[in-house]
């Protein structure tokens, strides 16, 4: 019978499905094949030094959700190995075992690492035979092996995700370098003639009478030349690191200064700004002017998405070792097909847009060893979250 039970445990643990579901099936099997009223499986978190309930079957009494290292019978496994057992009144001090008369706790581990605990509980006094004890030890090894494999699998998935992110950043860097070469060429080959054209057009405009039929065309020419100059300036600004001057700066002040720059536009477009500050002084190390450009672009993006009015929520605060600025608009969100392209240079869905605002913002934030993430709520709006390293005094 013992071999049949072990064979079934192997089939259950090696089968498809989530780890929690597979271990719950094993817990059910152990309750049905032994004189136990409850079987609980805990997973150990070495970083938090705690055990969390992963799977359970049987009686509802004593389903304790977690144990800290050293707490109760389960918590003892953080410093002990093997099998712990208890009978009679010695269980009263542990809420997870108090209703029971007998309990066994098997370590789920390999030779170097602890993965969790297997708990078997009985309302009636019950002692395992030598054969049953050895069988459960083997089952515990199989469960530990499965938990180890699952942990490795999750680690590999995280590594794969990180590699894909790194690949994306490398692709972005290649575009950045290619754009740098192109920008240098553009700066020399286009900018000087463009300035001359703009200057001559302005002189022609000043020489014309206000009611001249040619005046509107000249004004349009001057306007378009200025727009081309702005596009060229944006390209060069995106591709070049223009000697950033890093110093300790306060995030709230930078965000507020950017918002102030757009007071008139926000009012004209009937956009309500809701400003929230959390965490006191939010200090980071960076170039204040460049960071304001980054925040300016996020505000411009929000205004353009809410041309008929809306709400802009701007929140600043602290998250771990980072200071955070969130810009949330009610502009209806981004077409899901385009979310992956918004940080690509020259990608735009707006008439007359350069497609450089968000790429420039991303470049500035990355230069500051920070990150920018977008949360898209189709039909509602978008949240851009900027995270920058916090200086030790920033709190």
DSSP result, 189-202: HTHHHHHHHHHHHH
Residues 12-27: pLDDT tens digits?
A: 988 888 999 999 999 9
For 232, phi then psi, to 5°, come to -60, -40
Alpha-carbon torsion (137, 140, 141, 142), positive or negative: positive
Helical packing angle, 2-14 and 130-189, nearest 10°: 10
* pLDDT value of residue 240: 57
E-strand stretches of 64-155:
66-68, 83-87, 102-109, 114-122
In the numeric block, the tokens 């009144």 are attached to 89
DSSP code at position 111: S
* Edge-first strand listing for the sheet containing 271-277: 271-277, 310-319, 322-329, 381-389, 371-377
Domain 247-389: give its CATH architecture: 2-Layer Sandwich (3.30)
Residues 293-341: pLDDT tens digits?
A: 899 999 998 998 898 899 999 999 999 899 999 999 998 888 888 787 7
HSE on the CB side for 148, CA within 13 Å?
13
Q: Provide the residue ranges of all domains of the chain, joining segments of one domain with +.
A: 2-156, 190-239, 247-389
* pLDDT value of residue 177: 65
Residues 342-369: pLDDT tens digits?
A: 877 776 766 656 667 788 888 889 889 9
Residues 205-217: pLDDT tens digits?
A: 888 887 888 888 8
- How far is residue 27 from each of residues 22, 103, 274, 292, measured CA to CA in Å? 9, 14, 52, 57
Q: Decide if 350 contacts 342 (C-beta within 8 A).
A: no
* pLDDT value of residue 58: 94
Closest CA to 357 of 269, 237, 255: 237
Average pLDDT over residues 95-119: 92
Q: Is pLDDT of 238 > 60?
A: no
> Who's near 263: CB < 8 A, 6+ residues apart?
none
Least confident of 121-125, 180-184, 284-288, 314-318: 180-184
Tokens of 237: 């600004």
Residues 156-191: pLDDT tens digits?
A: 998 998 888 888 777 766 766 666 666 666 666 777
* pLDDT value of residue 102: 92
Tokens of 218: 């000249």
CATH superfamily membership of 2-156? GAF domain (3.30.450.40)
Alpha-carbon torsion (389, 392, 394, 395), positive or negative: positive
Higher pLDDT, 216 or 29: 29
Average pLDDT over residues 42-48: 93
Q: Is pLDDT of 237 > 70?
A: no
Average pLDDT over residues 280-297: 89
Work out the percent of the chain whose per-residue pLDDT is above 70: 87
3-state secondary structure of 34: coil
* pLDDT value of residue 289: 83
> Who's near 331: CB < 8 A, 6+ residues apart?
302, 304, 305, 306, 310, 381, 382
């Amino acid at each position: 019978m013992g071999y049949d039970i072990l064979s079934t445990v192997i089939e259950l643990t090696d089968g498809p499905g989530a780890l929690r579901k597979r271990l719950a099936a094993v817990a059910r099997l152990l309750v049905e094949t032994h004189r136990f009223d409850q079987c609980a499986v805990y997973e150990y978190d070495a970083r938090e030094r705690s055990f969390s309930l992963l799977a359970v079957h049987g009686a509802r009494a004593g389903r304790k959700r977690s144990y800290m290292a050293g707490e109760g019978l389960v918590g003892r496994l953080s410093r002990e190995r093997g099998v712990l057992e208890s009978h009679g009144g010695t269980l009263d001090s542990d809420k997870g075992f108090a209703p029971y008369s007998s309990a066994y706790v098997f370590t789920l581990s390999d030779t170097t690492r602890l993965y969790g605990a297997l708990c078997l509980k009985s309302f009636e006094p019950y002692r395992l035979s030598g054969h049953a004890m050895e069988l459960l030890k083997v089952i515990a090894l199989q469960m530990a092996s499965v938990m180890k494999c699952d942990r490795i699998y999750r680690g590999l998935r995280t590594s794969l995700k990180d590699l894909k992110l790194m690949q994306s950043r490398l692709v972005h860097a290649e575009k950045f370098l290619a754009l740098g070469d192109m920008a240098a060429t553009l700066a020399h080959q286009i900018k000087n003639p463009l300035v001359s054209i703009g200057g001559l057009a302005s002189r022609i405009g000043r020489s014309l009478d206000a009611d001249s039929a040619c005046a509107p065309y000249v004004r349009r020419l001057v306007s378009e030349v200025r727009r081309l100059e702005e596009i060229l300036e944006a390209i060069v600004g995106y591709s070049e690191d223009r000697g950033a001057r890093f110093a300790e700066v306060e995030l709230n002040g930078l965000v507020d200064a950017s918002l102030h720059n757009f007071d008139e536009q926000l009012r004209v477009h009937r956009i309500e700004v809701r400003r929230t500050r959390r965490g006191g002084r939010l200090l980071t190390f960076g170039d204040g002017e460049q960071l304001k450009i980054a925040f300016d672009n996020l505000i411009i993006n929000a205004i353009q998405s809410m041309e008929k009015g809306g709400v802009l929520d701007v929140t600043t605060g602290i998250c771990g070792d980072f200071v955070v600025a969130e810009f949330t608009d009610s502009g209806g969100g981004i077409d899901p097909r385009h979310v992956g392209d918004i940080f690509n240079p020259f990608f735009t869905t707006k008439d007359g847009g350069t497609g450089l605002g968000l790429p420039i913002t991303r470049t500035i934030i990355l230069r500051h060893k920070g990150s920018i993430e977008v949360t898209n709520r189709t039909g509602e709006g978008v949240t851009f979250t900027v995270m920058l390293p916090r200086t030790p005094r920033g709190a």
